Structure 1
Amino acid sequence: MAKILLTGGTGLIGKVLEKKLIQKNHEVQILTRNPRKENHFKWDIKKSFIDDNAFQNLDYIIHLAGAGIADKKWTKSRKAELINSRVESANLLYSKVKELNVPLKGFISSSGIGYYGAITSEKVYTEEDEPADDFIAKICIEWENAAHQFQNNNIPVTILRTGVVLSKDGGALQKMNTPLFLSALGNGKQYVPWIHIEDLCNLYIKAIEDENFKGIYNGVAPDHQTNSSFTKTLGQVLKKLVTPINVPGFVLKTVLGELAVIVLAGSRVSYKKVEQHYNFEFEDLKKALQHIYK
């Protein structure tokens, strides 16, 4: 049994992960701005505050906190928030771990496949590839750099570069199950690397329970899908009509602004490294969606 401090614990992934960790007899504490439960501890990133009690006898930190990439248009202030919510929070955690001399067994952080950039190509990106030079990559680069600083204290770091997370309780599927998105976007040829939320949470648990699961991994399922094929499969599972006419890119740019780039571009991302350590429960998109909408 491990004692784990979880950031982003009240979010989509955090809620599922907390339940699964508790089912496996781990002790979970959650950092939140508004503590309401016995295992909740207060933090305030803007005031550089974390309750010291959250670090007592702590084994691991799982860092999921960060403003939603696709929640709002990318204004200048929103862009700053997307980076700061991830980096400043990790910096605060690191400073507290140093200050209190916490002997962590590991720091486990989320990141995104945006590391490879908002680009559509025939290349299959691996963990060894260099980052892109665009805003979505900049978020991930700074996010990961903030996590890597824990290694300065000889704390092992695991980073999961996550694709589109599929869940019945919100997230990407909630947005996609709408008239605008239930059709191919742009030319429909851009890839949509995805992962079922159960598999993603299992990977976080593996980072705690398997001492060999360290380093950087792409958190994506083995099934490569384009936007067009993904949408058709979603329509089949939902028994909904998929609009036969693609939504033009300029329409999405009008509606979403610069944010449109994350749905108009996308490349394949390799699952080979993570598959050496983990057997996916949901390798096939159709089966994953059927499980979600059963």
Structure 2
Amino acid sequence: MKILITGATGLIGSELVKLLLSKNHSVNYLTTSKSKIENKPNYEGFYWSPEEGKIDENALQGVDAIIHLAGANIAQRWTDKYKQEIIESRTLSSELLYNLVKKHPNSVKQIISASGTAIYPDSISKVYYETATESEDSFLSNVVKRWEESVNTFQVLGIKVCKLRTGIVLSNLGGALPEMVKPINMGLGAGMGSGKQMQSWIHIKDLVALYYFALENQLGGVYNAVSPNPVSNQELTKVIAKTLKKPLWLPNVPKFVMKIVLGEMCELLFSSKNLSAKKISTAGFQFQFPRIDRALADLYA
């Protein structure tokens, strides 16, 4: 099978590429950096610029499925300008892919897109399933809505659309976890706010395996890409400290302090999202790291 990937050189994309190549699949990838274009057996890069509406049409040749991971990092201060970039990096890239597929004969049968958990409202007590219809009027929630709407357009072309609403990705190579680890390693670790906010997470190996599972099984629809066992912020902080063999002695950090430091982006630390993994588990996916202690031990012990 030949798969076209956006965001292939990022944290998740690079691990996914390794898995696909190890399974003897071919990968075409799109990059906004011409210096990252490579041409190796079963691994070929193509240039695109969603902002300018430019894309190398050869990227689509022989492709059976698209995995769409591209999107600006949300863990960066949300200035008005950067907010626009967060939105456009997701919607414009989807639109450019759609127009390419629509205008050219192709063999694409499925698109699997990253999505976010911010589409669900903030709640400490409620468990969210994919069927939830509640939403909130927040910046990130609206980003996810527009993101998913832009991907849904592929259904008009008879292409199966699968959206993976991804929780906190645990990796020691990047993303949120190394930022959590830094202060704890320095003996300055602390929970955020009440520490009761629920955090749905997934080990990067499980996430990459989940993408492959969705591809192999031609899944369509929405799935929560999270571990079956979410944890509170306080528990996550404690398990990280225990894994690193570091003490926790500081009081929890108040929200107003982090708002001064991070601005509106501090919502990432204080929002509570308890998501169910039942749907993907029922479909037959088996998690290698269903519990937080095992996941962190794999990464840091």
Q: Which residue of 2 aligns with 1:30?
A: 29
Q: Which residue of 2 aligns with 1:281?
A: 288
**Aligned equivalent of 2:126, options 120, 123, 127:** 123
Say what the alpha-carbon RMSD is for the aligned residues: 1.2
Moved more, 72-81 or 229-238: 72-81
Whether the 8 Å contact between 2:117 and 2:273 is mirrored in structure 1 is: no
TM-score (normalised: structure 2):
0.94
Whether the 8 Å contact between 2:189 and 2:250 is mirrored in structure 1 is: no
- Counterparts of 1:12 and 1:182, CA distance in 2: 25
- Counterparts of 2:291 and 2:13, CA distance in 1: 24
**Aligned equivalent of 2:174, options 158, 170, 189:** 170
- Counterparts of 2:27 and 2:64, CA distance in 1: 10
- Counterparts of 1:123 and 1:30, CA distance in 2: 38
Whether the 8 Å contact between 1:217 and 1:274 is mirrored in structure 2 is: yes
Alignment of 1:5-84 (within 5 A): 5-33=4-32, 34=34, 35-38=36-39, 39-70=44-75, 72-84=76-88
**1:167 CA drift (Å):** 0.7
**1:30 CA drift (Å):** 1.0
Which 4+ stretches in 1 moved above 6 angstroms? none
Alignment of 1:170-209 (within 5 A): 170-179=174-183, 182-209=189-216
**1:227 CA drift (Å):** 0.2
Structure 2: 5+ residue stretches without partners: none
- Counterparts of 1:189 and 1:288, CA distance in 2: 21
- Counterparts of 1:250 and 1:92, CA distance in 2: 40
Deviations 1:77-104 (A, max 9, x none): 1111111000000000000000113231
Structure 1: 5+ residue stretches without partners: none
**1:265 CA drift (Å):** 1.5
Alignment of 1:237-248 (within 5 A): 237-248=243-254
TM-score (normalised: structure 1):
0.96
Deviations 1:158-215 (A, max 9, x none): 000000000121111111012288310011010110000011111111121112x221
Aligned-partner residue type, residue 267 of structure 1: K
Whether the 8 Å contact between 1:67 and 1:81 is mirrored in structure 2 is: yes
- Counterparts of 2:111 and 2:95, CA distance in 1: 12
Whether the 8 Å contact between 1:191 and 1:226 is mirrored in structure 2 is: yes
Alignment of 1:210-289 (within 5 A): 210-211=217-218, 213-277=219-283, 278-289=285-296
**1:238 CA drift (Å):** 1.0
Deviations 1:116-175 (A, max 9, x none): 03x233110110112322111101101100110000000000000000000121111111
**1:251 CA drift (Å):** 0.6
Alignment of 1:131-142 (within 5 A): 131-142=135-146
Q: Which residue of 2 aligns with 1:97?
A: 101
Whether the 8 Å contact between 1:122 and 1:267 is mirrored in structure 2 is: no
Q: Summarize the Cα distance change of 1:242–1:120 in structure 2 as closer, same or farther, 3 Å threshold.
A: farther
Aligned-partner residue type, residue 202 of structure 1: A
- Counterparts of 2:291 and 2:70, CA distance in 1: 28
Identity percentage over the alignment?
42
Matched residues, number: 290
